[in-house]
C-alpha cells in the first residue's frame, strides 16, 4: 500500500501513468522504488529482481480526493514517512496484502475483504508475497472525519473494514470503470469523473458513520463540521485565520486546535488545503489570470500563492493550467 508522495508531481488535470514497462529488467525495481521515497520497499526474498513489474495509474480531483490503481509484483513495504493529511479507501481486486500495525498485529487484506478505510499512520508494514492489484481513493483526513462523524479509527488497527452496501458496490464498479476509461479522458472528462467519484465517496462515508455510530459528543461533531463549513465558505477571505474561525464560532482558539488535533488535522493546514484545492477549480476558468485566482483563493501576494501551490502539488499554477490542454 504505497502512498505516493513524490507522485504528487503528477497532480495534473489528467490521468497519469507510471510503470516498469520499457525499463531495463535489472533497473525495474529501483525505478519503481524511486517513486515512493516515504516507503521502504524491498522485493520479496525469493523474487528474481530482473522480472520485477509494477505500475500505477491515477488522477486527483480538485477537491483533493485522488484515485489510483496499483499493480505490483511480490513486495515488502515498511512505512517510514507518511503524509499525515491523508487517509484512503482501499479495495484489493487481486492477490492479498498482509498489513501489520505498530504493535505488530496482523490483518490480511484480500479481494474478499471489500472496501476498507486505511490509515498509514497506524501501519508498520504491508507485504504481498504473491503480488496484488488494488484500488485506492486518497482522502483528506478532515473530509473523512467530517463525513463520518468519527474522531478516529477504532482500536489500533490501521484498517477498518467498511459495510458492503449498494453504495459500496457502486463505488467498486466506478473504480473499475475509471481505471479502464480514465486514461482515455481529456482534462474536462477527468475532472467530471473525479467529481462523480467524490460524491459517491462522501455519501458512502456518511452512511458508514451512521452504521458504526459516532464516538464523539454531538456538540463536538457539530462544531467540527461548522468549522469546516465556515472555512469552505470563506476561503477567499485574506483575513481568514484560526482566530477568525474561532471568533465566528464563539469558541476559544484552544478548543478549535484541540478539535482538529483529535482528528489528526492542523487547522492552518486545513485552511491552506481548502484554498489551494479551490484554486484548482478557479484555474479551469481561463478568463481569470493567475493574480485573480490567487486573490480569490485568499492570497494577496501572487508569488506567495505560487510557492504554496507548487509546494502542495509539485507544479506551478500556470503549469497546472497548461495540463488542461
DSSP 252: -
Give residue 97's pLDDT band: very low, low, confident or very high (50, 70, 90): very high
Residue 258 has phi, psi (to 5 degrees) of -60, -40
Question: Do 184 and 222 lie in a common domain?
Answer: no
Is the model's pLDDT at 103 over the cut of 70? yes
Question: Do 236 and 193 lie in a common domain?
Answer: no
Of 170, 192, 212, which residue sits at a domain end? 212
DSSP 119: -
Give residue 1's pLDDT band: very low, low, confident or very high (50, 70, 90): very low
How many C-beta atoms lie closer than 10 Å to residue 305's C-beta?
A: 23
Question: Do 182 and 271 lie in a common domain?
Answer: no
Number of domains in the chain: 2
CA distance 59 to 62: 10
Q: Read off the pLDDT of each residue in 255-260 and give the average, rounded to a whole number.
A: 92
Is the model's pLDDT at 94 over the cut of 60? yes
Residue 85 has phi, psi (to 5 degrees) of -75, -20
- Cα pseudo-dihedral 181, 186, 190, 192, rounded to 10: -110
Q: Choose between 150 and 165: higher pLDDT.
A: 165
> Position of cell 485566482?
293
Please state, rounded to an integer, the average pLDDT across all residues of the chain.
Answer: 88
The whole-number pLDDT of residue 90 equals 96
Give residue 8's pLDDT band: very low, low, confident or very high (50, 70, 90): very low
221 burial class (0-12, 13-18, 19+ CB within 10 angstroms)? buried
Q: Could you tell me the CATH number of the domain that includes residue 285? A: 1.10.10.60
60 membership: H or E segment, kind and range = strand 54-60
The whole-number pLDDT of residue 4 equals 42
The whole-number pLDDT of residue 9 equals 43
Residues above pLDDT 90, as percent of the chain: 63
Question: Do 189 and 81 lie in a common domain?
Answer: yes
Rg (CA), the chain: 20
The whole-number pLDDT of residue 218 equals 67
8 A C-beta contact, residue 215 and residue 150: yes
The whole-number pLDDT of residue 132 equals 94
Give residue 51's pLDDT band: very low, low, confident or very high (50, 70, 90): confident
Is the model's pLDDT at 34 over the cut of 90? yes
DSSP states of 149-170 as a string?
A: --SS-STT-SEEE----HHHHH
Question: Do 280 and 174 lie in a common domain?
Answer: no
Of 187, 212, 237, which residue sits at a domain end? 212
Tell which residue, 122, 49, 41, has the closest CA to residue 84: 122
8 A C-beta contact, residue 172 and residue 112: no
DSSP 138: E
Question: Do 28 and 52 lie in a common domain?
Answer: yes
Is the model's pLDDT at 88 over the cut of 70? yes
Question: Do 178 and 290 lie in a common domain?
Answer: no
Q: Choose between 133 and 159: higher pLDDT.
A: 133
CA distance 66 to 320: 16
14 falls within a domain: yes
Q: Read off the pLDDT of each residue in 26-36 and give the average, rounded to a whole number.
A: 91
Question: Do 153 and 131 lie in a common domain?
Answer: yes
8 A C-beta contact, residue 11 and residue 313: yes
1 falls within a domain: no
264 falls within a domain: yes
Question: Do 206 and 250 lie in a common domain?
Answer: no
Q: What angle do CA 280, 11, 157 make, to 5 degrees?
A: 105
3-state secondary structure of 48: coil
Query: Rounded to the nearest 10 degrees, what angle do helices 187-212 and 166-181 cross at?
Result: 160
Give residue 11's pLDDT band: very low, low, confident or very high (50, 70, 90): low
273 falls within a domain: yes
The whole-number pLDDT of residue 155 equals 63
Distance of CA 276 to the CA centre of its chain: 15
The whole-number pLDDT of residue 122 equals 85
75 falls within a domain: yes
Q: Could you tell me the CATH number of the domain that includes residue 96? A: 2.60.120.10
What are 261-305's pLDDT values in tens digits?
888 889 999 999 999 999 999 999 999 999 999 999 999 999 999
Q: Read off the pLDDT of each residue in 153-161 and give the average, rounded to a whole number.
A: 76
The whole-number pLDDT of residue 31 equals 94
Question: Do 205 and 63 lie in a common domain?
Answer: yes
8 A C-beta contact, residue 172 and residue 91: yes
Residues above pLDDT 70, as percent of the chain: 90
Give residue 233's pLDDT band: very low, low, confident or very high (50, 70, 90): very high
Of 188, 212, 236, which residue sits at a domain end? 212
Give residue 120's pLDDT band: very low, low, confident or very high (50, 70, 90): confident
> Position of cell 485573480?
292
pTM of the model: 0.86
Q: In the chain, which ranges are continuous DSSP H helix?
A: 28-33, 141-148, 166-181, 187-212, 218-233, 242-249, 253-261, 267-283, 290-296, 302-313, 317-322
Question: Do 199 and 228 lie in a common domain?
Answer: no
Question: Do 293 and 153 lie in a common domain?
Answer: no
For 112, the domain range is 6-212
Is the model's pLDDT at 57 over the cut of 70? yes
Amino acid at each position: 500500500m504505497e502512498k505516493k508522495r513524490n507522485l504528487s508531481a503528477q497532480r495534473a488535470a489528467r490521468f497519469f501513468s507510471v510503470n516498469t514497462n520499457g525499463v531495463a529488467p535489472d533497473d525495474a525495481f529501483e525505478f519503481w522504488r524511486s517513486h515512493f521515497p516515504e516507503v521502504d520497499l524491498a522485493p520479496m526474498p525469493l523474487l528474481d529482481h530482473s522480472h520485477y513489474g509494477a505500475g500505477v495509474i491515477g488522477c486527483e480531483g480538485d477537491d483533493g480526493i485522488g484515485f489510483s490503481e496499483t499493480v505490483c509484483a511480490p513486495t515488502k513495504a515498511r512505512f517510514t514517512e507518511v503524509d499525515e493529511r491523508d487517509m484512503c479507501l482501499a479495495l484489493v481486486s487481486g492477490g492479498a496484502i498482509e498489513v501489520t500495525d505498530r504493535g505488530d498485529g496482523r490483518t490480511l487484506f484480500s479481494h474478499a475483504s471489500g472496501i476498507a478505510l486505511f490509515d498509514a499512520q497506524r501501519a508498520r508494514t504491508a507485504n504481498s508475497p504473491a503480488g496484488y492489484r488494488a484500488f485506492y481513493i486518497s482522502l483528506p483526513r478532515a473530509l473523512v472525519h467530517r463525513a463520518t462523524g468519527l474522531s478516529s479509527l477504532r482500536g489500533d488497527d490501521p484498517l477498518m473494514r467498511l459495510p458492503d452496501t449498494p453504495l459500496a458496490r457502486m463505488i467498486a464498479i466506478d473504480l473499475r470503470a475509471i481505471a479502464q476509461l480514465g486514461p482515455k479522458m481529456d482534462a474536462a472528462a477527468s475532472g467530471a469523473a473525479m467529481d462523480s467519484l467524490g460524491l459517491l465517496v462522501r455519501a458512502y462515508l456518511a452512511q458508514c458513520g451512521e452504521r458504526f455510530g459516532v464516538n464523539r459528543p454531538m456538540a463536538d461533531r457539530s462544531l467540527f463540521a461548522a468549522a469546516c463549513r465556515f472555512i469552505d465558505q470563506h476561503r477567499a477571505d485574506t483575513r481568514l485565520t484560526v482566530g477568525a474561525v474561532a471568533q465566528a464560532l464563539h469558541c476559544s482558539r484552544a478548543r478549535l486546535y484541540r478539535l482538529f488535533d483529535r482528528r489528526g488535522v492542523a487547522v492552518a493546514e486545513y485552511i491552506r488545503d481548502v484554498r489551494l484545492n479551490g484554486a484548482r477549480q478557479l484555474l479551469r476558468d481561463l478568463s481569470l489570470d493567475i493574480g485573480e485566482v490567487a486573490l480569490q483563493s485568499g492570497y494577496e501576494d501572487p508569488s506567495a500563492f505560487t510557492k504554496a501551490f507548487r509546494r502542495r502539488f509539485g507544479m506551478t499554477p500556470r503549469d497546472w493550467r497548461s495540463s488542461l490542454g
